[in-house]
């Protein structure tokens, strides 16, 4: 393992932070896999998975079994790790401006088009090399305006060089699920099955420029912009949601690490007998078919449905109880599907998002992700 530190902007004089990057396998080898954990710094299940993954990778490297290069950032958000308000950890949003750490990554495609127009070849590999150079140059030209953007620039710089990006997250209370670009659905189908995912959500554009799309979307959009030139989809990226915030155990961490190792064996990054991929628990469905359940009233929230349960449209999944009058208002599933995530709080206000149901009929438009 080779370890390096990337210095970030000081939060204040003397308050210096850095990213720790750990590399395994031959430097510059392909395929290159980039893995980062806990971009939302209060989502620790990815961090425990990265801990066990590092142990496995260290042993595999000692055995000479890593063929590609694996880049691991085991804690991707040192800024968010420092943020506590009255004892509560706030790792999802930058307290300086309220911006989500997984939103607002630069969309580099328009300027990349200007750089590569008239230079593309009839060779896909040559075009990948040209586009990566252009992406690198455009990212270098981005001038961050605050410490969080400096960190985003550093993370994206590491990730956009990879063939595959795994961004490790979790939800409030949830079963395993994942998000990816529509054109990466086949690529990550084995990983979804290996992880035992209950929802596999795909979209071309989900809104607000999240990290995974900053890595993958350029390849789809450039291929569409230049249809007469071969442009492979050279960076498959996925957001992996490892259950809920409280699901931090060695057992789940080891299982998630093992699934990622098996996927990398299938991908040829790690030498070894290809694992058997189990039957998937779900198929890829449109993110536009994933619908929120909103609180119909304010009051005490009592769930009647566990995460991972299949529900039917109109089925009561929770009740909201007015503590003063005793009035009970049902919260109902908006469609048939799987309730794959729900909030961890138990007192809610009207209109608040309570849960998510992965359906099959795409009905939503616009921004498809939550805050």
Q: pLDDT tens across 237-276, in order?
A: 999 999 999 999 999 999 999 999 999 999 999 999 989 9
Predicted pLDDT of residue 64: 97
Predicted pLDDT of residue 362: 85
Does residue 371 register a pLDDT over 80? no
pLDDT band of residue 15 (cuts 50, 70, 90) is: confident
Q: Who's near 42: CB < 8 A, 6+ residues apart?
A: 80, 89, 90, 91, 92, 245
Predicted pLDDT of residue 364: 87
Write out the two tokens for 176. 């395993």
Say if CB 236 and CB 212 are below 8 A apart: no
**Considering only CA atoms, which of 74, 307, 305, 309 is closest in space to residue 171?**
307
Predicted pLDDT of residue 116: 98
Handedness of CA 169, 170, 171, 174 (dihedral sign): positive
Domain ranges of the chain: 2-282, 287-358
pLDDT: which is higher, 116 or 365: 116
Quote the percentage of the chain above a pLDDT of 90: 95
Predicted pLDDT of residue 11: 84
Stated as kind and residue range, the H or E segment containing 169 is strand 164-171
**Model-level pTM?**
0.97
Predicted pLDDT of residue 12: 82
Would you call 174 exposed, middle or buried from its count of C-beta atoms within 10 A (0-12, 13-18, 19+)?
buried
pLDDT in tens, 79-125: 999 999 999 999 999 999 999 999 999 999 999 999 999 999 999 99
Cα separation of 337 and 34, whole Å? 32
pLDDT band of residue 326 (cuts 50, 70, 90) is: very high
Region 44-66 average pLDDT: 98
pLDDT band of residue 27 (cuts 50, 70, 90) is: very high
Mean pLDDT of the chain: 97
Let me know how long the chain is: 371
Query: 2-282 belongs to which homologous superfamily?
Result: Zn peptidases (3.40.630.10)
Region 300-313 average pLDDT: 98
**Considering only CA atoms, which of 121, 120, 114 is closest in space to residue 137?**
114
Predicted pLDDT of residue 38: 98
**Considering only CA atoms, which of 198, 191, 200 is closest in space to residue 176?**
198
Say if CB 195 and CB 256 are below 8 A apart: yes
Predicted pLDDT of residue 162: 98
Does residue 161 register a pLDDT over 90? yes
| N-to-C CA span, the chain | 36
Predicted pLDDT of residue 366: 84
Q: In terms of DSSP bridges, do strands 284-286 and 199-203 run parallel, antiparallel, or are they unpaired?
A: parallel
Cα separation of 54 and 257, whole Å? 9
Fold topology of 287-358? OB fold (Dihydrolipoamide Acetyltransferase, E2P) (2.40.50)
Would you call 176 exposed, middle or buried from its count of C-beta atoms within 10 A (0-12, 13-18, 19+)?
buried
**Worst-scoring range by mean pLDDT, 80-84, 137-141, 153-157, 358-362?**
358-362
pLDDT in tens, 283-293: 999 999 999 99
Predicted pLDDT of residue 118: 96
Region 314-322 average pLDDT: 98
Predicted pLDDT of residue 363: 87
User: φ, ψ for residue 277 (rounded to 5)?
Assistant: -95, 120
Region 35-59 average pLDDT: 98
Predicted pLDDT of residue 122: 96
Cα separation of 331 and 317, whole Å? 6
């Amino acid at each position: 393992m080779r370890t390096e530190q990337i210095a970030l902007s000081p939060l204040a004089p003397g308050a210096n932070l850095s990213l720790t990057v750990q590399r395994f396998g031959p430097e510059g080898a392909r395929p290159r896999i980039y893995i980062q954990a806990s971009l939302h710094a209060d989502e620790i299940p990815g961090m425990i998975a990265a801990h066990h993954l590092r142990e496995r990778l260290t042993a595999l490297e000692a055995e000479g079994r890593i063929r590609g290069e694996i880049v691991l950032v085991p804690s991707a958000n040192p800024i968010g790790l420092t943020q506590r308000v009255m004892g509560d950890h706030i790792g999802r949003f930058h307290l300086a401006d309220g911006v989500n750490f997984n939103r607002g990554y630069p969309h580099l495609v328009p300027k990349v088009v200007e750089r590569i127009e008239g230079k593309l070849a009839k060779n896909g590999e040559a075009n990948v090399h040209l586009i990566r150079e252009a992406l690198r140059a455009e990212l270098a030209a981005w001038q961050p305006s605050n410490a969080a953007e400096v960190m985003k620039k550093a993370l994206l710089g590491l990730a956009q060089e990879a063939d595959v990006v795994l961004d490790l997250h979790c939800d409030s209370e949830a079963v395993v699920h994942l998000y990816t670009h529509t054109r990466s659905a086949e690529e990550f189908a084995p990983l979804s099955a290996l992880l035992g995912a209950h929802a596999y959500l795909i979209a071309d554009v989900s809104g607000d420029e999240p990290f995974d799309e900053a890595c993958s979307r350029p390849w789809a959009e450039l291929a569409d912009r230049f249809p007469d030139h071969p442009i492979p989809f050279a960076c498959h990226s996925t957001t992996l949601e490892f259950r809920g915030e409280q699901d931090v155990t060695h057992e789940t961490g080891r299982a998630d690490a093992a699934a990622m190792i098996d996927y990398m064996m299938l991908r040829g990054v790690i030498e070894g007998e290809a694992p058997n991929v189990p039957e998937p628990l779900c198929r890829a469905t449109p993110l536009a078919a994933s619908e929120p359940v909103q609180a119909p009233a304010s009051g005490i929230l009592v769930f009647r449905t566990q995460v991972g349960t299949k529900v039917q449209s109109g089925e009561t999944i929770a009740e909201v109880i007015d503590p003063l009058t005793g009035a009970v208002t049902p919260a109902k599933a908006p469609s048939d599907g799987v309730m794959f995530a729900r909030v961890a709080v138990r007192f809610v206000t009207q209109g608040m998002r309570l849960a998510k149901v992965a359906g099959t009929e795409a009905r939503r438009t616009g921004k498809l992700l939550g805050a």
